[in-house]
Amino acid sequence: MSGPLSGIRVLELGQLIAAPFATRLMAEFGAEVIKVEPPGEGDPLRKWRKMHEGTSLWWYLQSRNKKSIAVNLKSPEGLDVVKQLAQSADVVVENFRPGGLEKLGLGWDVLSSLNPNLVMVRISGYGQTGPYRDRPGFGAIGESMGGIRFTTGSPEAPPARVGVSIGDTLASLHGVIGALMALLRVKTGQGAGQVIDVSLVESVFNVMESLVPEYDLLGEVRTRTGGALPGITPSNTYPTRDGGYVVIAGNSDPIFRRLMAVIGRPDLAEDPALRNNDGRSQQSVMLDGLIAAWSKTRTVEEALAALDAADVPAGRIYSVADIVADPHYQARDMILQAELPGGTQVKMPGIVPKLSDTPGEVRWQGPALGAHTDAVLGELGLDPDRIAALREKGAVA
């Protein structure tokens, strides 16, 4: 079954997280993704975090379904190869520092002149314009300046990092959305290709809800609140008797009334002062204390059973072990069995979102460096002798 992006060719000129995660999503839904890597070590992600026989497990996930070609971008012949690939590409995704591609002679002016319908996604720390454009920017900086770290963690502790590279992945998602909108414009004949300028800082800032108007009109500076959902009461993380935690979201008025019945305080369910969220938020400390006093007398399982029976949204806080063992994850194909080189079996995350008619799929795990160089260059019309000559000059590997 062909994916919804079948027939779309994507050229990846990126490394590590932001650009490669964007192209991974496209590859999972049928796009042909050609990843350009430097000869020798390739993408540094190949050596990041936990390894299996010298290769990062993250690499196998991040680069699944992609073709790897090893091209020396410091070689004129290597640059010519990239230009030829760009002529047949629908999308280029890159995460160089602004001006980096221009220094190589691969800027938007060059590539768009070769292919007017080309869509270029440019992911950087601060964007392609503005006074900070030339600063180096990684996901951690995007999270810091985008506002999310100031609001993450305990109010008694320094700002905390979310446990994953959320700044990079938010930028990736914005890049994919922009690419698909631009592709739709091209494919429906509404116009030519264009640049999608994605900033890590702005991608984080874009999900920060009503942060700005609350500050502008009310002088409110949203800060760290631990497990609570500020201004929405009750919604927090509560301890249990067995040393665990449950997250309970009694957000809406009807749910609040059901929750109060569960914890044995039906009187509060009928209290006019607590009838809506505004009133409850003024009493958040009192309500959280009562709910915690109830949860501490029960195990996680007992608390969840009681809340589920009352139709109150609640859940345990999952570790990866919980996720892998969970029957709902398994039923929705969110834990897939994969095979690494040499036959080693390993579980990998499934594909999101779920499309009913043209679902995504995993065709292979992240490839060896340069595994597709000869095949891709052959498709460009280069014969084996020409490819060998390029390899001898160090243009490709």
Task: Report, as residue numbers or ranges, the catalytic residues.
Answer: 168
End-to-end CA distance of the chain: 33
For the record, the structure tokens of 223 come out as: 């800060």
Which amino acid is residue 215, in one-letter code?
Y
- Both tokens of 190, joined, read 């509404």
Write out the two tokens for 176.
Answer: 């994919």
For residues 165 and 193, is the Cβ–Cβ distance under 8 A?
A: no
Q: Are 102 and 69 in contact (CB under 8 A)?
A: no
The residues facing 55 across adjacent strands are 52
9-13 and 345-349: which strand pairing? Answer: unpaired
Residue of 108, 24, 110 lying closest to 60 (CA atoms): 24
Q: Say which DSSP state 268 is in.
A: H
Q: How far apart are CA 339 and CA 359, in angstroms?
A: 21
d(CA 347, CA 242): 30
250, 261 contact by CB (below 8 A): no
Is residue 95 within 8 A of residue 15, CB to CB? The reply is yes
Nearest to 27 by CA among 387, 363, 381, 379: 363
For 354, the enclosing helix (H) or strand (E) is none
Distance (Å, whole) CA 223 – CA 225: 7
Choose among 219, 220, 288: nearest CA to 249.
Answer: 288
